Amino acid sequence: MGATESIARGRRLLIERPTAALVALVGVVLLVDLVRRLATGDLTTETLGIFVWRGIVNGLVVGLAGIGLSMTYSILNFANFAHGDYISTGAFAGWASTWVVAGLGRADVGALILVGAGGNVFSSDLGTSITNTPLAIVLGMLVAGAFTVALALAIDRVVYRPMRGEEGISLLIASIGVAFALRYLLVFVFGSAPRSVADTPSDVAVAGVTFWFDWHQLTLVVGSVALMVGVHLLLQGTKLGKSMRAMADNEDLARITGIPTERVIQWTWIIGAGLAGVAGYLLILEAGTIAFNRGWILLLLIFAAVILGGIGSIYGAIAGGLVIGLTDTVSQIWLPSDFTRAAAFLLMILILLYRPEGIFAGRSTA
């Protein structure tokens, strides 16, 4: 009787939800093929581990940057398309500081501030890495976050605050204008050519055991996780966090109950922009190469992660980032690397077909 019911249930699923049945079948086939590859040696556990680790690294950057975008939507109710260019701007500010500290007295200060624009100084001359110049790296990370915060607050005061009562579409269009202005200001100051800013780090070795990840990746993971935990503690255990959650649920009610909404908005920009700037810096630290459009390219993945996780939820942004990152890398087992990003977006579409509210349902900063 149990087998009969299972067959009948499977038949109903196939008839009523053929797409879900097809997705489930593809998932089973891929899982069986993965086990077969591991068993036959076509895929080693080390290679699989590298794919998973790379997915976690990429996903943490996307998730960290996505927290700010999700918070902005939750509190201000608009999608900030300038968020990607906040990431790029913070990265350039941070790396300019890193180069100045690492190269002071060894190269022209102007060339250091411009992060080697014009080819007068190179990262190989400075040896910038977390192992060689840790002070410069830590300072650059702090500057990246602080500069992005100052930038976001200034833009909010000049552009977004006068439009606070407008519809979300007006703010969205304004944010696109801000994005283009920031992007081509970076081109004007730093040039459009991508260039190396960090040395290739050595792999992590402990007690004579060398791992298949390097010090920059480890720095990214530790820094991202620490910041995510910090945001969690802030939202759950402080008065500001409670005010943010209340405003995300109902802004009018929050205002009536005496919550200083403008102060909450300012702190939303501070936290979101700070995380975006640090995420941009860590992204470049791990990649080793900086370009004016890195944040803009990353923005599409950030939106995918935020939507997948449940727009308005910081935990959803983190979870969505990890899902997108892991799909992007693990799918290389079956797909050429040029098509893996498409696989990540396809997964997002499939999940939203059956859970349109995202993994973490609801508009909430928590």
Domain that holds residue 321: 52-200+209-354
Q: Give the pLDDT confidence score for residue 363 in this predicted structure.
A: 47
At 20, is the pLDDT very low, low, confident or very high (cuts 50, 70, 90)? low
Asked if residue 47 belongs to a domain, the reply is: no
Asked if residue 134 belongs to a domain, the reply is: yes
Q: What is the pLDDT of residues 32-83, one digit of tens each?
A: 988 999 999 898 998 999 999 999 999 999 999 999 899 888 888 888 999 9
Asked if residue 169 belongs to a domain, the reply is: yes
What CATH number is given to the structural domain containing 300? Answer: 1.10.3470
Length of the chain measured in residues: 366
| pTM of the complete model beyond 0.85 | yes
Nearest to 245 by CA among 313, 298, 300: 313
pLDDT, greater one: 7 or 147? 147
Give the Cα separation of 234 and 231 in Å (integer): 5
At 254, is the pLDDT very low, low, confident or very high (cuts 50, 70, 90)? confident
Q: What percent of the chain has pLDDT over 70?
A: 92
Asked if residue 190 belongs to a domain, the reply is: yes
Q: What is the pLDDT of residues 238-247, one digit of tens each?
A: 888 888 888 8
At 269, is the pLDDT very low, low, confident or very high (cuts 50, 70, 90)? very high
Q: Give the pLDDT confidence score for residue 14 in this predicted structure.
A: 55
pLDDT, greater one: 365 or 87? 87
Is pLDDT at 1 greater than 50 in this prediction?
no
Rg of the chain over Cα atoms, rounded to whole angstroms, equals 22
Return the sign of the alpha-carbon dihedral for residues 67, 70, 76, 78: positive
Asked if residue 42 belongs to a domain, the reply is: no
Q: Give the pLDDT confidence score for residue 12 in this predicted structure.
A: 59
Give the Cα separation of 319 and 302 in Å (integer): 11
Asked if residue 9 belongs to a domain, the reply is: no
Q: Give the pLDDT confidence score for residue 350 in this predicted structure.
A: 78
Q: Give the pLDDT confidence score for residue 197 in this predicted structure.
A: 94
What is the overall mean pLDDT for the chain?
A: 87
Q: What is the DSSP string of 84-148?
A: HHHHHHHHHHHHHHHHHHHHBTTB-HHHHHTTTTTSSS-HHHHT-STTT-HHHHHHHHHHHHHHH
Q: Give the pLDDT confidence score for residue 255 in this predicted structure.
A: 80
Asked if residue 308 belongs to a domain, the reply is: yes
User: Structural domain tally of the chain?
Assistant: 1
Q: What is the pLDDT of residues 295-322, one digit of tens each?
A: 999 998 999 899 888 877 888 899 999 9
Asked if residue 135 belongs to a domain, the reply is: yes
> What is the mean pLDDT of the segment spanning 16-39?
79
